[in-house]
Structure 1
Amino acid sequence: MQQAGMGHLIRQARQAKGWTQSELGSRIGYNKTRVSRAETGTQPIRDVTVLRRLADVLGVPPSMFGLADRAPTLASDLDMSASEASVDRRAFLGVAGAVGVSAAFPIPAAADEPDPATLLEKRISACLFTTPGASAVPMPVVELQAGLARAQAGYNACRYVWLSGELPRLISAADATMAATPTAGTAALASASYQLAAHALAKLLVSGLQPMAADRAVHRAHQANDPLVLAQARRVLSTAARRIGDYDQAERVGIRAIEDLPLTHQDDPIIWRHAVELWCVAGYAAAIRGDRDRFVECYREAAAVAAQINDHHQQRQARDYALAHQISSAYKLGDSATALDAARQVRLDVLPTTERKGRYLIDLAMAWQQHGHDNHASRALLLADYHAPGEVRTRSSARRLISSLATSSRSRGMPELVGLARRAHVAL
């Protein structure tokens, strides 16, 4: 690579991180003058060790500096046709800032599918306003379990158009199956179907549908008589209470769910991970009502619970979940610096699903806009659309952010937003 070109990439990647030349220098053992000379090409960096350190701190592939590339890959966890790009969060902050999102990632074609948010609301509401199981045929339990597993995988992959057709059918079948065979197992499956509906409805603007689905999930969970199922159902009920503005109730429901979990089973990391997620839900409710002390306390509890998980992989996932969740909570407090600090500690490739990666990138975009960096917010949204298009094109907060950025006075410097708005069904 020509040294002037390398210097340009170093400068652009540094600026994408919001660092001064002095800040970058302190991370690689150089002073400001030496960094300046490297960026202008008057004194290029040729030491391989320094170049590797530079690639690492900037979060760019070593191949950008002519070195062997050991970039991480993101493996899909779905048995569907969806696949993921081999790029992590640091690569986004570096590569996308250095060479532009359109060069780093192919821009998706214009959406040729209907609005997923509209379909989810229309089809799930039709199901919820019908007497449970009234016109459905019971389904063999094994077949119902497989269907719910596919639906969960579709949710994880942000395939919300497909889910809008599949989920109502499964909800009706689960209720009919429970009515025909009222056991703890069929009640748990019915609860799971309503929980998934509540999670999907959380992507949309506030309405009465999510509380309805969450209430049915809790009712079925009580019938299942399983503490873990009940905790999962109460989590969606807590989220629903928060979304209609009842923040105290949201926290009470979440804390009650934590208290009812059998946390003495330290050999079961799944239970402990649910406790981490419930503390995060409580922390988010505290943040929305402006209670910073409670916000800090809840996320401290989440970190303490995560530390109790004796499986290293599960512990890391729980820790990164809490950090990623903290981004949106800090944003709600108006604390973009804390949000961005949390974001810098999360690796995109550790987040387990496309849905979680999409939520992370959208939350990161909102934090960047709040921090006064619209260009970084735009890049994060474009990467989210590349990485989890269904999330960007369904989640109401993402669509509002696209509209805000595309109609701002600085939108001329972000021409890709026009195409993104079209794909996300956002009218400008």
Structure 2
Amino acid sequence: MLGLGPAPAIPPAGKLSADFTRALADFDACRYAALTVRLPRLIRAGHVLTANSDETAPYAPLAKSYLLATRMLTKMDEQQLGGMAPDRARQLAETAQDVLAVAESARQLAVAARKAGWHSEALSIPLSAADHPDLRRAGRPGAAARGLLVQSASYTFARRGDRDGMRELTDEAAAIAQELGGVTLLRDHGGGFSPLTVTLHKISAENHAGDPWPHSPPPTQSPSKPCPASNAAPAP
């Protein structure tokens, strides 16, 4: 990310996407030691490839690599680089015209802004991205990404203690989830969107807004096996 280390040889175009898939698998499996080696190499290779190509295709996996770096930096509570990475991801995603990566970059930027205490930016960034016409034309994945962006803004209202704002946006996210029905997975971005995820979001948001039990918890379900506690997922 910082441009340190020797530049690698220009990789084949397809290798970048394959290496990103491996890096994502490392992250999902909590193989962080392997990821700390693979991900910097992936980012350096991506920059070499984009600098030596007239095509925009390599920009997409590079943008996703920066998003993966953002998720790792968020786990480490590294705010400075954690704010730089999604900004770079958004620029690269815009060049690649990858609508979903642009949306996820905006969501991660909002998380970084909220952690830094910049609540105005943490509201305006995701709401502006959610309202973008390209995202509204992106079908079911685009609608799910919109729901996650609205949830992010809702969480910022919760952090500010604004229950009305939080509940209004949570209701909007719930309406999107209800219209979609079921679960919409966004594989490269670390999760999905569904009526259940909105319910879980609401419980967390109400807790931060000062009302921990506005509704009964969702029905008992089998929890997924998490990574160690130190690797808890970042706030919406």
Both structures adopt the same fold (TM-score exceeding 0.5): yes
- Cα pair distance change 1:336/1:193, threshold 3 Å: same
2:227 match: 389
* Partner Cα distance (1:173, 1:328) in 2: 39
Gaps of 5+ in 1: 1-127, 350-356, 358-386, 398-428
- Cα pair distance change 1:147/1:283, threshold 3 Å: same
> Which string of whole-angstrom CA distances, capped at 9 and with x for unpartnered residues, describes residues 272-331 of structure 1?
11111111111111111111111101111111111222x644399522222233333223
Gaps of 5+ in 2: 186-191
Alignment match of 2:177 (pick from 306, 314, 318): 306
Kept in 2, the 8 Å contact 1:324–1:346? The answer is no
Kept in 2, the 8 Å contact 1:206–1:244? The answer is no
2:206 match: 330
- Partner SS, residue 198 of structure 2: helix
2:35 match: 163
Kept in 2, the 8 Å contact 1:203–1:396? The answer is yes
* Partner Cα distance (1:240, 1:288) in 2: 13
Structure 1 segment 284-323 matched on structure 2, within 5 A: 284-309=155-180, 312-314=182-184, 317-323=193-199
* Partner Cα distance (1:348, 1:269) in 2: 26
* Partner Cα distance (2:123, 2:50) in 1: 31
1:275 match: 146
TM-score normalised by L of structure 2: 0.84
Kept in 2, the 8 Å contact 1:160–1:394? The answer is no
Q: Percent identity?
A: 29
Letter of the aligned partner of 2:117 in structure 1? G
| Residue correspondences, number | 228
* Partner Cα distance (1:185, 1:279) in 2: 29
- Partner SS, residue 135 of structure 1: coil
- Cα pair distance change 1:346/1:325, threshold 3 Å: farther
Letter of the aligned partner of 1:321 in structure 2? T
* Partner Cα distance (2:77, 2:17) in 1: 30
**Deviation of residue 241 (structure 1)?**
1.0
Kept in 2, the 8 Å contact 1:231–1:261? The answer is no
> Which string of whole-angstrom CA distances, capped at 9 and with x for unpartnered residues, describes residues 144-202 of structure 1?
11111122222233333332222111111111111111422111111111111111111
Q: Aligned-pair RMSD on alpha carbons?
A: 2.6
Structure 1 segment 6-405 matched on structure 2, within 5 A: 128-130=1-3, 135-262=7-134, 264-265=136-137, 268-309=139-180, 312-314=182-184, 317-338=193-214, 341=216, 343-345=217-219, 347-348=221-222, 357=224, 387-390=225-228, 392-395=229-232
1:371 match: none
2:188 match: none
TM-score normalised by L of structure 1: 0.49
Letter of the aligned partner of 2:129 in structure 1? A
